[in-house]
Structure 1
Amino acid sequence: MVRFGPAPLPSPVPDARGPLRIALFTGNYHHVEDGVSRTLNRLVRYLLAQSHEVLIIGPTVPDPPMEHAGTLVPVPSVSIPTRPEYQFTTGFPSDVKWKVRHWKPDVVHIATPDRLGFAALKWAEREGLPIVSSYHTHFPSYLGYYHAGALEPLLWRLARRFYNRVGEVFVPTPSMADVLREHGITAPIELWPRGVETDRFTPEARSSLWREAKGFSEDEIVITFVSRLVKEKSVDVYADVVNRLRARGLPVRGLVVGSGPEREAMEARAPDAVFTGHLGGEEIAAAYASSDIFLFPSETETFGNVTLEAMASGLPAVCADAVGSSSLVVDGETGFLCPPRDVDAFTNATARLVEDPALRQRLGAAARERALTYDWDAILGRLADRYRAAASGEAR
C-alpha cells in the first residue's frame, strides 16, 4: 500500500486578527484514508500555517495508514464488526475533557455525530463554548446497500437532535444543504466546498509509460474508478457498465484505484480490469491523467473529492445525478449525469464518450477549466472566517 504523506505546509501567513484555538472532534482523522480524513488534515495544516492552534480529539489505531497533521488526543474506540477498518468512539473520557478544558479552546468543531460527538456537544454546551459542525458522510444514503432502510427515520431523528444544537453546520454543496433542510435541520447552514490541487492533478501528468506498465495498450480507452471499494460506492454498477461496453465490442478497459472489502467481489465481476490498490503521490495523479473517462456511479457522496480530482486531470466524468456529483458535473458540458443505479443510462453515456474522441476531449477540457475554480486556500480561508465569527459571537 502506498501511503499518503502530508502535503507540504504553505508558507506561514499569520492572521492579523490574532490566532484562534480550535478543538476539532472527529470520528476519523487518520485510521482510514478517505475524503473525510484528507479534508480534515488539509484544514488543520492550513490553520497551523496561519498560526492558529488546533487540538484534534478522535480515535486512533496502531500503524495508521496516513500521517496526520497537528496534535491528536486519542479517545477509546472499538472496531465496527462488519467494517473492522473503521473505529466507533465509545465516549469522551474525563481525562481528555480535563485536557481540552485546560487548553481553553475558542471554538469547538464537531465533525462526526457519533458517541464522542454527542458527548463533546453536551460538554461544550456546559462550558458555554461556541460550537460548529460539518456534514461529511451522508449515512442515510448507505442504508439501502446493507438492507437497513428501515433505520433511516432513526438516523434523521439523531441528526436533528445533534445538528439543531450547534451554531452553524458546514456542508459541501447547496444540494446537500437542501437535503438537510428537507429533513428538519434548522441550524444555520454555511457552504464549505472542497478544493483540489490543480498543479498536482493535471493533464500534464499523463504518461504513456505508466499506461504501458499497467498493461494498457495505446488504443484502449481507460475507464477509471477511484474510491474505497465498498458497496455504497455502487461498485457493481461500475463493473457492469465496463462489461457491457466490452460486450459491445468497444475498446475499453477498466482501471480501479483503491481497496476495501468489496475488492474480491469486484475483481470477480470485472476480471479484465486493472486493480492497483491504494495509490498516492505522483502515481495517483498519473493514474487519473493517463485515463480517458472517469466513471463514478456513487450516489452517496456529500461532495465527491475524487470527481473533482478527475476533472482537474482533464477527464470527462460520468456520475450519478445525486447529491454531491450533481454540484460538480455540468451535464453535457463537463461530463454526464445519470439516474442512480441505472446501468443502461451509465452505459449509454459512457459509450458516447468512447465513440466520440472529439466530444471526450471537449468535455475533458471543460472539466479542467471548472476544476480550476476550486481553490483550496480561498475555501479554507472562508472557513477560518466562520470560526472567528463563531468565537466572537458574530455567527448568524
Structure 2
Amino acid sequence: MATGIGAIDLAQMALRQGLAIPPHRAIAGTAGSDDHGGIYPGSAWTVVPGVQNVPDLLAAMAAGEVRAGGEDGSVEKMATTGFRIIAGATLSGERPPAHQTPGPDVSHGRSAEAEKLIEYMPLLATMTGAQVRSPLSTRYEHQVARALLGSGSGFPVLGVLRSVGSFVDAHLYIAPYLGVHGYFGRERQQTRALRRELFPDRSRPLKVGLFVDELDEIHGVATMYQNLERLAAGSRDDLLRIVRCGTGDGGDAICLPALATVPMPLYDGRALGVPSLLDVLDHVAGEDYDVLHFATPGPLGLAAMVAGMTLGVPIVGAYHTEFGTYAQVLSGDALVAEIVEVLVREFYERCAVVAVPSRSTAEALEGRGYQIDRFEVLRNGVDTLLYRPDRRDETLRQELGGGRTLLLYVGRVSREKGLTGLTNSYLELRRRRDDVHLVIAGDGPYREELEARLGTLATFTGFVRGEGLARIFASCDIFAFPSTTDTLGRAVAEAQASGLPAVVFGMGGPRECIRPGTSGFVAAPGDEAGFMARVEELVDDAVLRGRMGAAARAFAETLSWEAVLDGLIDLYRDIVTVPPPSALTSVPTLASVERRAEVATPVA
C-alpha cells in the first residue's frame, strides 16, 4: 500500500491533517510506536504471509491468514503507564495539565482522597499492573461499602444521595481504569464498524448481556429473562447471558460479587447487591457483548448502563415499574416521589431503546417529559403449559370458598395495588349476597391489616408459586385485579391462560393483557363501583363467564416463547446493524409502528 503513494498523495494527506507539505516523494517504510516516551514499551505487530502486492495482502486478510503478533495492550498496562507519567511529574515538582491526567482531578479544590492518591503515585509507579490495581480496587470497594452503610430502607437511592460525596470519592481510585476502558471501548466499536463495512455479507451470532438485579422465584421479570436465555441456548447461535450480582443459586447466570447491599424497594427484608463498577466493566469488555439489556434501574442495572456508555455498547433499558408512583404511595412524600422520578428519568434517557410493556406506559412516560429516542413495546405473555384450565380442582374449590363463586386476586399484598378499594367494594357486595368469596394469593406488608378487616369473608393463601399457583388460578372463577400502578400485569395474563375472565382498570399494562368485552372487562380508572359492578355481572351470568373464559384461553395461546425471542433478536440486530446468520434469514423483521414495535414477552 505504501509503495503506491506518491508526492501528490502525501501533499493531500498533509493538508487534510493541517500539516506542512513534506518534501518526500514516496514512502520507504512504515512503523508505529506505543511506548509512551519509553516508559512502557509497546510490543505488538502484525504477522502476514509473504505477499507481493495489495491484492495478495487483502486476500490473505479475507482468508484469515493475518494475525497479531507480540503482546496485546490492556487496561492495566495503559493505566500503569499513566501512573508512571504522573509519578514522574510529581517527583519533578510539575503538575501535568488536566488533559494528560488519566486519574483524578488535580486542579484547585482537590478532595482529601485525591490528595492521598497523588501522594501515593511514586510508590504506585514502582509496581506492576496487577500490584497497582489490587490496593486501589480494595480501597474503592471499602469506600463504596462505607458510603452505602446508611442507605436505610425504602428507596435505597435516597440513602445513597445522602452519602454522595463519599460515593464519588470512592471512584477516584478506579478513575484511571475507567478512562482507559473508555479508550479501548471506542477502538473496539470502530473496529466493528470497519468490519461491517468491509464484510457486509459476513454473518456472526449476537452476544447480549442481560443484567437482572434480583434473580429468584418471586421476581417475574428475572424469570422471564431466564426462560429467554434457555430458549436461545437450545435453538440458535445467538447468545443471551444473564448477569446478576450477589450470592446464592443463580442457575446458569453469571454472578458478579457484591461490594454491599441496599434494601430492595417494595420487598421488605430483601436486598439488592451492589457490584464493583470495575468488575462490571471488566466483564462487559471481556465478553465483548454487542448489546447490554438491563431489567431494572437497580445497582447492577446502573453499573451496566455506565459500562455501556463507557465502552460504547448500545443499551436497552426495560421499564417494568412505576418507581415514582410507588415512592409516593409508600412514603406519602411528594418530594421523595419527584426525586425518584427525576433519577429514573435520567437513567432511561441514556438508553438507545427503552422497552415498555404497553403503549400506555410509553405515552405516560412521554407525557411526564421523558426524552426517549425510541420505545419498543414488549407485549405481555404467559406460560400456557403451566397455566391452563384443566388444572381446576373441585376439592380445592371447596377448601378455598365452600362452593361459592370465587373471586381471585394474585400479587403483592400492598397498598399501592389498589387492594383497599377492592376490599371496600367486596365488603359491600357481601352485605347483599353470600354466594361469592374472595381469595387473595400472595404476601406483603398489607396482609395483616386486610386479614383483620375481612376475617372469614376471604381466604389468604400466602405466597404460592408453580403448579400450586396454577391450581389456584384454574380453580377460581373470576380474576379481579384492581392495580393502576402495574406496567406489566403478569398475573392477568396467567389468569387468562387459566381460563378466567378478568376485570381490570383502564390504566397501565393490565388493560392490554385482555381483550376488552371478549375475555374480560375494563373499568374506568378510579371507578370502584363500576369495577365491582362488572365483577357482579360475571358472578350472575355463568354462561357469560364461560364464554369469556374460553376466549381468555384462546387469547393466551396466541403467545409463544419463540415469537418473543425472535422479536428481541431482531430488535438487538436493528440496534447494532449486524446482519443475521443464515439460520435466521427466515425470521420476519421487527416492525416499528410509530417508533414502537410490539413483541410478545413471556411470563413465567
Q: Is the 8 A contact 2:245 2:300 kept in 1?
A: no
Residue 390 of structure 1: how far off its partner (Å):
2.5
Q: What is the aligned counterpart of 1:181 among 363, 366, 370? A: 366
Aligned position for 2:282? 98
- Whether 2:505 is the aligned partner of 1:320: answer yes
Q: What is the aligned counterpart of 1:43 among 228, 234, 242? A: 228
Aligned position for 2:53? none
1:67-78 to 2 correspondence within 5 Å? 68-76=251-259, 77-78=261-262
- Whether 2:446 is the aligned partner of 1:262: answer yes
Name the SS for the 1:295 alignment partner.
strand
Q: What is the aligned counterpart of 1:121 among 296, 299, 305? A: 305
Q: Is the 8 A contact 2:284 2:307 kept in 1?
A: no
Residue 68 of structure 1: how far off its partner (Å):
4.2
C-alpha deviations, 1:355-378, integer Å up to 9, x for none? Answer: 121222222222222222222221
Partners in 2 of 1:275 and 1:186 — Cα distance?
A: 41
Q: Is the 8 A contact 1:47 1:384 kept in 2?
A: no
Q: Which moved more, 1:127-136 or 1:151-160?
A: 151-160
- Whether 2:256 is the aligned partner of 1:87: answer no
1:202-281 to 2 correspondence within 5 Å? 202-212=388-398, 214-218=399-403, 220-272=404-456, 273-281=458-466
Note the aligned Cα RMSD (angstroms): 2.6
Partners in 2 of 1:257 and 1:68 — Cα distance?
A: 26
Q: What is the aligned counterpart of 2:534 among 349, 367, 372? A: 349
- Whether 2:326 is the aligned partner of 1:138: answer no
Name the SS for the 2:268 alignment partner.
strand
Change in CA separation of 1:318 and 1:341 when aligned onto 2, cut-off 3 Å: same
C-alpha deviations, 1:280-314, integer Å up to 9, x for none? Answer: 23221111111000011011111211101101111
Partners in 1 of 2:565 and 2:390 — Cα distance?
A: 26
Partners in 1 of 2:483 and 2:271 — Cα distance?
A: 23
Aligned position for 1:379? 564
Residue 85 of structure 1: how far off its partner (Å):
3.3
Q: Is the 8 A contact 1:107 1:387 kept in 2?
A: yes
Partners in 1 of 2:553 and 2:209 — Cα distance?
A: 35
Q: Is the 8 A contact 1:194 1:379 kept in 2?
A: no
Letter in 1 for 2:533: N
Partners in 1 of 2:282 and 2:269 — Cα distance?
A: 29
Change in CA separation of 1:393 and 1:167 when aligned onto 2, cut-off 3 Å: farther
Partners in 1 of 2:537 and 2:203 — Cα distance?
A: 53
Partners in 2 of 1:52 and 1:278 — Cα distance?
A: 35
Q: Is the 8 A contact 1:297 1:340 kept in 2?
A: no
Letter in 1 for 2:575: A
C-alpha deviations, 1:74-117, integer Å up to 9, x for none? Answer: 43422248743342454534234323322222211122223433
Q: Is the 8 A contact 1:27 1:89 kept in 2?
A: yes
Structure with bigger RCO (C-alpha 8 Å, 6+ apart): 1
Q: Is the 8 A contact 2:245 2:275 kept in 1?
A: no
Q: Is the 8 A contact 1:27 1:87 kept in 2?
A: no
Aligned position for 2:349? 164
Residue 222 of structure 1: how far off its partner (Å):
0.5
Q: What is the aligned counterpart of 2:380 among 188, 194, 199? A: 194
- Whether 2:499 is the aligned partner of 1:297: answer no
Name the SS for the 2:326 alignment partner.
helix
Change in CA separation of 1:69 and 1:293 when aligned onto 2, cut-off 3 Å: farther
Name the SS for the 2:379 alignment partner.
coil
Q: What is the aligned counterpart of 1:57 among 243, 255, 275? A: 243
Letter in 1 for 2:381: G
Change in CA separation of 1:296 and 1:203 when aligned onto 2, cut-off 3 Å: same
Change in CA separation of 1:362 and 1:144 when aligned onto 2, cut-off 3 Å: farther
Name the SS for the 1:47 alignment partner.
helix
Residue 18 of structure 1: how far off its partner (Å):
4.5
Letter in 2 for 1:189: F
**Superposition TM-score, scaled by structure 2 size:** 0.58
Q: Is the 8 A contact 1:25 1:57 kept in 2?
A: yes
Number of residue pairs matched?
A: 375
Partners in 1 of 2:560 and 2:471 — Cα distance?
A: 21
More helix by share: 2
Q: What is the aligned counterpart of 2:495 among 284, 292, 310? A: 310
Partners in 2 of 1:60 and 1:89 — Cα distance?
A: 5
Q: Is the 8 A contact 1:57 1:74 kept in 2?
A: no
Partners in 2 of 1:81 and 1:349 — Cα distance?
A: 33
Name the SS for the 2:559 alignment partner.
coil
Q: Which moved more, 1:284-293 or 1:97-106?
A: 97-106
Aligned position for 1:21? 207
Partners in 2 of 1:148 and 1:374 — Cα distance?
A: 40
Change in CA separation of 1:82 and 1:357 when aligned onto 2, cut-off 3 Å: closer
Identity %: 33
Letter in 1 for 2:472: A
Gaps of 5+ in 2: 1-201, 580-589, 596-604
**Superposition TM-score, scaled by structure 1 size:** 0.86
Residue 383 of structure 1: how far off its partner (Å):
0.7
Name the SS for the 1:271 alignment partner.
helix
Q: Is the 8 A contact 1:234 1:341 kept in 2?
A: no
Q: Which moved more, 1:228-237 or 1:141-150?
A: 141-150
Name the SS for the 1:84 alignment partner.
coil
Partners in 1 of 2:428 and 2:381 — Cα distance?
A: 34
Partners in 1 of 2:383 and 2:265 — Cα distance?
A: 35
Q: What is the aligned counterpart of 1:287 among 456, 461, 472? A: 472
Aligned position for 1:155? 340
Name the SS for the 2:210 alignment partner.
strand
Partners in 2 of 1:257 and 1:20 — Cα distance?
A: 40
Letter in 2 for 1:132: V
Name the SS for the 1:85 alignment partner.
coil
Residue 54 of structure 1: how far off its partner (Å):
3.7
Letter in 1 for 2:380: R
Change in CA separation of 1:280 and 1:239 when aligned onto 2, cut-off 3 Å: same
Letter in 2 for 1:60: G
C-alpha deviations, 1:125-177, integer Å up to 9, x for none? Answer: 12121221111112122234221333444333323322222211111111111
